Structures are given as C-alpha cells and as structure tokens.
Structure 1
Amino acid sequence: MKNYFYLLLTLLFTFATSCSVDKVSDEEFESIKGSWLLTSWHVNNPVDLNNDGIATSDFSAGCFTDSNIVFNNEGRGTIFFSSKVEYHTEEENGNITYMVTCATSTELKPSPISYSVDKDIITIYDEDRISQLVKENNRLALTIEGGFITRDINTFEITSKQDVTYYFTRP
C-alpha cells in the first residue's frame, strides 16, 4: 500500500511540474493597451472606387474615419466602425462603375470585445465572431475574409467578394 502511495505521489508531482500554462505577460498587454484608430484599408484585387480609371488596392480610412479599437485592462475593450458602408457596381458599355454608400448614425455604438495576446497576435472575441489582429511595429492589421463585397445596383447580386484588411495605428 505504501508503494502505491509513493507511486501516486510521484505521478502527481511529474504531472504538476510537466504541465504549465503560458501566461501572457503584463508587457504584452501594455504594448497594445489604449486606443487604435483605423487609418487605412487594403484589398488584394485592385478596384477603381472613385471611377478615375486607376484601380488601387490601398485606401485611406474614408468612410471609416473615427473607427477604432480600444484595449482596456484585463482583456476587455471595444471595437467601433463609424459607418456602415455598401459598395455597388453597374456595368455600362463594358465599363464597371462603382458607387459607395456611407451611412453614419448616432445609433452606431462601440461593440464590447474581450481579447487575448500571444506575442504579436491579438485575438478578439466580439458578439458572434473571433478575429485576429497582427501587430506589425506600431500598426495592427485586421483581415476579414470575404469582407469586401460589391453588389449590382439593380439586382443586388454579388459582383465581387474578396478579403479586406483594416489597419489601425495609435493616434
């Protein structure tokens, strides 16, 4: 019986010392704590949103001015998009014309999030989604798969869908 006790004690000691939980350092939380402003966004396939004949992949905040992520203490914060944006297309004489609708409202409110940090990856959890931001120097990149959608202005059918990356920097 005594041997079983020592065997059990040895197994418990081995288990307790071999398993460790990686704890996020205070330094990692401090490195992202505060407000981050959406300053630009990017799509993989260039589009000519302003119909000037020049397609581009990189855009300023535009309709998303004042959008932000705020990281508070203890893994809590908010994410806020200042506009609801819709992108429409219309084909005329073989040319695609883009139309952008920005809808701002005082009813738009920041959404609460929780977050965790693992080196340069910040995982945010909001109402129904888990997203990851990548910290690149003093910039956070949030990629939303299939987040840039254009619809035909007449039929509302999807005419294109691609990933969009939002870039946040400290103000």
Structure 2
Amino acid sequence: MHKFINKLFFLVSLTVVFACSSDQDDVVNNEASGIEGVWRLNEITLETPLDINNDGVASAILFEAPGYLGHSELIINNETSGTIYFSAQTTYSTRDDDGKLFFMITSSTNDDRVDEPINYTLEDGVGIINYDGVESSFIVSENVLSITVANGFIARDQITGDISVSQNLTYTFVK
C-alpha cells in the first residue's frame, strides 16, 4: 500500500508540473504570435518638446505618417526575431546664436531596402528589443507597438561635434 501511495503521489506531482509548464508556454507563444506580422511606422515622438523647425513652436512630434519615413516597417517573424527597415536616415545638428539653439536637419532616403535583424523578448505586453546592439523597451497594446530608445534623439553642435541635445525617442508602429 505504501508503494502504491508513493507512485500515485509521484504521478500526480508529475502531471501538475507538466500541466503548469505547458500552460505557461502557451501563454508566451500566444502573446508572441499575436505580434507577428508587419508593423508600419506611424509616429516618432520626443520625450520633451523641442522647436526642431525653428518656428517658435516646440513639439514632441518629430515625425507623423505619411512622410519621408512613411515606408519604414518593423516585421516580427516569430517568437524571438524579426527585421526593421527605415526608409530614410536623419541627423540633427545645432548652432547657438546669442543663446538660442537653432536646429538643422539632414535627411536622405534609402533607395535600396535593407532589412536589419532584430531580436526581442516579450512578457505581459512589455518587451525588450535588440537592434544594432542597442536594447530598448517596447510595449504592445492591441494594434500599437511603441519602442522607446534611451537617448535615441541626438543633436550635435555643427562646429564642435559635441552632443548639444540628447533625449529619449519613441517610435510608434501600427499593425
């Protein structure tokens, strides 16, 4: 009888362990598969509004679709990886004129599409994405995926090359 109870206890314990682990795997797989697909860049926002256009109006919105970055995409291929493509490259520089900071923008569109690889992890709608060796946080809410890049906006002094402005940048993609 004692051997029977030990075997029964072992079988019940084994069943509980496998049942719990497979449910967790299903939750992770379902969450990751829910974000698979093509996400299009919709907006880029600054953490703190700046007068990038030098028109006297500070704005947190750096880019809104459609526009020169309107063909940029994030493609999630599977549970851990994908690709990202930006349809233009933009750099910002500044000059100081009597204590007022003026911004200058240089942008070039990409003629050839080159999708860059990304890796990511996701749990409970919050994730970490690794792009070009930089880890950034992202959140997913229904059909919106927002990636926040620490110090992703950098403007350099046009003369010295020193960083004059640096702040977080958020890329918002829609599915």
Name the SS for the 1:64 alignment partner.
Answer: coil
Residue 170 of structure 2 corresponds to: 165
Aligned-residue sequence identity (percent) comes to 29
Residue 134 of structure 2 corresponds to: 129
User: Are residues 1:99 and 2:101 paired?
Assistant: no
Q: 1:51 to 1:160 in 2, by over 3 A?
A: same
Give the TM-score taking structure 2 as reference length: 0.77
Structure 2 residue runs without a partner (length 5+): none
For this pair of structures, how many residues does the alignment match?
A: 166
Q: Once the two structures are superposed, what CA deviation does each residue of 1:61-83 show, in whole Å capped at 9, x if it has no partner?
A: 44422111011245332111222
Per the TM alignment, residue 14 of structure 1 is displaced from its structure 2 partner at its CA by: 5.7
Residue 44 of structure 2 corresponds to: 41
Give the TM-score taking structure 1 as reference length: 0.79
Query: Partners of 2:162 and 2:130 in 1: how far apart?
Result: 30
Q: 1:123 to 1:88 in 2, by over 3 A?
A: same
> 2:33·2:79 contact (CA, 8 Å) conserved in 1?
no
Q: 1:45 to 1:130 in 2, by over 3 A?
A: closer
Query: Partners of 1:127 and 1:89 in 2: how far apart?
Result: 26
Q: Once the two structures are superposed, what CA deviation does each residue of 1:65-117 show, in whole Å capped at 9, x if it has no partner?
A: 21110112453321112222111111113322111111223355111223333
Per the TM alignment, residue 127 of structure 1 is displaced from its structure 2 partner at its CA by: 4.5
> 1:24·1:117 contact (CA, 8 Å) conserved in 2?
no
Give the aligned CA root-mean-square deviation in angstroms.
3.0
Q: Aligned runs of 1:72-91 on 2, under 5 Å?
A: 72-91=77-96
Per the TM alignment, residue 168 of structure 1 is displaced from its structure 2 partner at its CA by: 0.5
Q: Once the two structures are superposed, what CA deviation does each residue of 1:9-59 show, in whole Å capped at 9, x if it has no partner?
A: x89x86895585431534323421211111111112211111110011123
User: Are residues 1:23 and 2:25 paired?
Assistant: yes
Structure 1 residue runs without a partner (length 5+): none
> 2:154·2:166 contact (CA, 8 Å) conserved in 1?
yes
Name the SS for the 2:137 alignment partner.
Answer: strand
Q: 1:158 to 1:129 in 2, by over 3 A?
A: closer
Runs of 4+ in structure 1 over 4 Å off: 13-21
One-letter amino acid matched to 1:137: E
Match of 2:117 among 112, 117, 136: 112
